[in-house]
Amino acid sequence: MKKTNDTTPIDRRTFLAGAAALGSSAVLLRSAQAADQVHRHGLERPHEPTTTTLKNAPLLERIDPKPTLPPGEPGKDYTPVITPNSISLPWKIVNGVKVYHLIAQEVEHEFAPGLKASCWGYNGRVHGPTIEAVEGDRVRIYVTNKLPSGTSVHWHGLLLPNGMDGVAGLTQRVIQPGETFRYEFTLRQHGTYMYHSHHDEMTQMALGAIGLFIVHPRRPREERPDRDFAFMLSEWRIDVGTSRPNPNEMTNFNIFTFNAKAFPGTEPMAAQLGDRVRIRIANVAAMSHHPIHLHGYRFRVTETDGGQIPQSAQQMETSVLVAIGQSRTIEFVAEEPGDWAMHCHMTHHVMNQMGDQFPNMIGVQSGDLDARVQSLLPGYMTMGSEGMAEHGLHIESGHTQAPPNSIPMRGGPGPFDYITMGGLLTLLKVREHLAHENLDPGWYRHPKGTVASRASREDLRRDGIHV
């Protein structure tokens, strides 16, 4: 894969270059002539501002250009994206247009073993499947509403004709239950975008009516990644013992997810040593920004949802803040083998369904308090005198019964001990050889002498450490 100096997003000239390479259909010629006129006008009246020049372009062609390149193909034009715990939405090509079908519907969703809830999603998934396409593609997306309420879909971050923007009431009529609407536009940019309900967003997004919309570059500026992962961050309020996310919650969310899964329900990212890895992270949570921290690596932040960051301005980071409504893309070469944590660094975001209305009991010997409270509140457990770690262990060992349909303060099993993080945690697993392309390769087998362990008496004596 060679480096090119293409400008991005695809501008009119790039479209034309593609058109010229393809030959001359009537459509191509028409758009070429139109662009020529724009160009000439620009030359004839060089002092006019760009906006005036643009006004001279046929309006329709400017806001909804006809594609001049064939539909982008996976493997040929791009490395297909991997959405852990999810899939890409299938599509077909009809007369050169990529056709998709989203069905908004109620979905029974499992966040992690032990917690299921009735959510709203698309095509049987929460969140909806990832829409994947290529810059310059013409897409036609049908949206069928099987929800009990009206809905609409907004294509968050995409440049498109105003009437395709999906804001119910403002740019279109509400899609009533049982109706199917058609959206159609040409992708004029590349990057990590989203789609989500834009009718009663507070309710519909809180219940999960969101998804990723990935647009691959037609001609990448840099080498293509070997692995291209995509995550959507979201947050939920699901009270212990209930099974419906609460859309009325304004600040106090208690389930935080990568692609609608809390650890240990999150599927890890598998990569081979030396792979170029791209991770896209989008966030349309209600209230929380998430500083996502990847262990073991430093990475370049290569894209925002506004576009590619020039190489000279790309920063090396180990955490990337993904604010609400934003997406960020990071890239690195997988040079460090192991099982590396990737998680939100807001410590409450790696806890699930934590009760926060109790006095601080750290260091307090609570005696038989729990047993007495449990006669009134089954499943009650004081945040123990040693902190929260013991809580998950107590539950995992069957010592304490978790309330039905809940994952309070739960983490998950690790190869050494219980991992005391849940929520926004997933793993990057880098191996010298992967037996199966995208499957979990199991726990890392550390080379001898590379695991922290209990210091020996000899170590302490040699180094003059007195304990």
- Binding interface with Cu ion (CB under 5 A): 290, 344, 346, 349
* Distance, CA of 161 to CA of 64 (rounded, Å): 6
* Distance, CA of 66 to CA of 15 (rounded, Å): 10
Whose tokens are 């609407």? That residue is 181
14 or 254: whose CB is closer to Cu ion?
254
We find the least distance from the C-beta atom of residue 425 to Cu ion, in angstroms, to be: 10
We find the least distance from the C-beta atom of residue 418 to Cu ion, in angstroms, to be: 22
Beta-carbon contacts of 297 under 8 Å, excluding residues fewer than 6 positions away, are 318, 332, 336, 340, 428
98 or 349: whose CB is closer to Cu ion?
349
We find the least distance from the C-beta atom of residue 256 to Cu ion, in angstroms, to be: 6
We find the least distance from the C-beta atom of residue 104 to Cu ion, in angstroms, to be: 27
9 or 423: whose CB is closer to Cu ion?
423
281 or 344: whose CB is closer to Cu ion?
344
127 or 290: whose CB is closer to Cu ion?
290
Nearest one of 59, 306, 304, 31 to 159, comparing CA atoms: 306
Whose tokens are 């997988």? That residue is 334
We find the least distance from the C-beta atom of residue 346 to Cu ion, in angstroms, to be: 4
CA 182-183-188 angle, 5° bins: 160
Phi, psi of 440 (to 5 degrees): -60, 115
19 or 344: whose CB is closer to Cu ion?
344
Beta strands in 334-464 (DSSP E): 338-344, 412-413, 418-419, 425-431
Locate 428 and state its tokens: 């990057």
CA distances from 141 to 89, 107, 281, 284, 421 (A): 11, 20, 23, 21, 38
We find the least distance from the C-beta atom of residue 350 to Cu ion, in angstroms, to be: 8
Burial 306-333 (b: 16+ CB within 10 A, else e): eebbeeeebeebeebebeeebbbbbbbe
346 or 373: whose CB is closer to Cu ion?
346
Beta-carbon contacts of 417 under 8 Å, excluding residues fewer than 6 positions away, are none
We find the least distance from the C-beta atom of residue 254 to Cu ion, in angstroms, to be: 12
We find the least distance from the C-beta atom of residue 238 to Cu ion, in angstroms, to be: 17
* Distance, CA of 343 to CA of 267 (rounded, Å): 13
12 or 328: whose CB is closer to Cu ion?
328
